[in-house]
A = this chain, B = another copy of it.
């Protein structure tokens, strides 16, 4: 049902080249998203800019894959989750987070959220905090090996999270067969704002 795509024996150099082509494109689109929300240019200017954007879209679509990006992996075992809305190098919706692994088994990320992620004025949408925590708890639960899907997750909001520089962190508290229990938090410059805990389950098709 959920199929990963084997792209074969692609060299690390070729992966790096692709990263260098499509990463900056997504970054340009991230800037455009921010400008689209914040612009105050007039109707005629907007109409002219829309034509440029539609032209860019048509050019990109002149050669494109059918359907979504999927999660690709190489024969060497490198995973390329480039379409992911949290960490995806090629997904302009993703901030994107760079997942770091601490010596103590924690997983964490430092990142910035701006206008595109706003719920209450000046603050992060509660659901965006949930998106990020679901992802980072899932990363630590998967432990870099098999994917684990969220079974249950609970989020406790201590106070609103300011837009700007943020830190998210997660750790596994317990593993029992196909289940991993993880906990984590989101923090802004004044400390923890949202706490999360969840159960993550190894999907049937991934079990040895």
Give chain A's interface residues, CB within 8 Å of chain B: 1-5, 17, 21-22, 24-26, 28-29, 31-33, 35-43, 45-46, 48-50, 52-57, 59-65, 67-71, 82-86, 88, 90-93, 114-123, 125-128, 130-135, 138, 147, 149-157, 160, 163, 203
**Residues in B whose Cβ lies below 8 Å from that of A3:** 121-122
**Residues in B whose Cβ lies below 8 Å from that of A126:** 134-135, 138, 149-150, 153
User: Which of A54, A71, A155: most chain B Cβ within 10 A?
Assistant: A155
Question: What's the least CB distance linking A150 to chain B, in Å?
Answer: 4
Please state if A46 and B67 are interface contacts (CB–CB under 8 Å). Answer: no
Copies in the complex: 2
**Residues in B whose Cβ lies below 8 Å from that of A67:** 38, 115, 122
Please state if B84 and A64 are interface contacts (CB–CB under 8 Å). Answer: no
For the complex with contacts A5-B121, A29-B32, A126-B150, 15 further pairs of A-B residues with Cβ separation under 8 Å are A17-B43, A22-B36, A29-B29, A33-B93, A45-B59, A49-B59, A68-B121, A70-B118, A84-B125, A86-B127, A93-B93, A125-B135, A149-B160, A151-B157, A154-B155
